[in-house]
Amino acid sequence: MKLIRYEFLGNVRQGKLVDNQVYPVDLGPSFPLPVSEVNLLMPIEPTKIIAVGLNYAQHARELGIANPRPSEPVIFIKPNTTLLKNEGTILLPKQSVHVEFEGELGVVISKKCKNVKRENAKEFILGYIVANDVTARDLQPKQGQWTACKAFDTFLPVGSCIETDLDLSTATITTRVNNVVRQHEPLRSMLFSVEELIEYISAIMTLMPGDVIITGTPPGVGKINPGDIIEVSISGLGTVISRAAKEM
């Protein structure tokens, strides 16, 4: 099931999307609306976004990291102000001359949780979302924290819906830049599974409803230039499309 947030006649509602028809979930039985008649909003309102680095071995290698599997997940926080709705514009900041795309799977938390065991993790997953963890690579230090290079406004485009049913064992992530495939990798290539990530992260911090974990990028990352069209797709989930433009 695809969950959405949308605006219609000045009202913001939760809904589900079925065959391009929008069904409100908070009004009881009602007539659906064609998706073309509503304004799709950001489907998530997280209290925090937890990002995972180096979760695909080949991506770690392309960054020059000798040991591609860390002993435990590498995590950092992206602020909510990085969020960008589907078909928005990524602003390439003045401080950087080398910004890169990073296609990723996002996991949306369904309810408050702490110290979750991996075997119980699925109880706390609302669904999945497609994301692009944009990174100012020239500002990323070889060692140390990554906040500065990951936290610019518009540096987290996300798709328009949350998919509650996704088979991670068969899904594939693909990133295209100007319609040329740059990343293509099965999600099963992740070093740490979604369940392992939830166990690790929830042992550190309380996860709240709507919080998002973005689970790392596969190999093939590359530079974004002004005017580029970046499309990140996950089979069975959807696509987030963004245009890049230089910050004025």
Q: Are 29 and 104 contained in the same domain?
A: no
Q: Are 33 and 142 contained in the same domain?
A: no
pLDDT for the residue numbered 248: 85
pTM: 0.94
Q: Are 60 and 170 contained in the same domain?
A: yes
Question: Mean pLDDT over residues 136-155, rounded?
Answer: 86
Q: Are 138 and 236 contained in the same domain?
A: yes
Q: Are 76 and 129 contained in the same domain?
A: yes
Q: Are 182 and 107 contained in the same domain?
A: yes
Q: Are 76 and 60 contained in the same domain?
A: yes
pLDDT tens by residue, 206-227: 999 999 999 999 999 999 999 9
pLDDT for the residue numbered 67: 64
pLDDT tens by residue, 81-94: 999 999 999 999 99
pLDDT tens by residue, 98-111: 999 999 999 999 99
pLDDT for the residue numbered 1: 94
- Domain containing 2: what range? 1-41
Number of domains present in the structure of the chain: 2
Report the CATH number that the domain containing residue 99 is assigned in CATH.
Answer: 3.90.850.10
186 confidence band (pLDDT: 50, 70, 90): very high
pLDDT for the residue numbered 142: 59
Report the CATH number that the domain containing residue 27 is assigned in CATH.
Answer: 2.30.30.370
CB of 152 within 8 A of CB of 222? no
Q: Are 31 and 152 contained in the same domain?
A: no
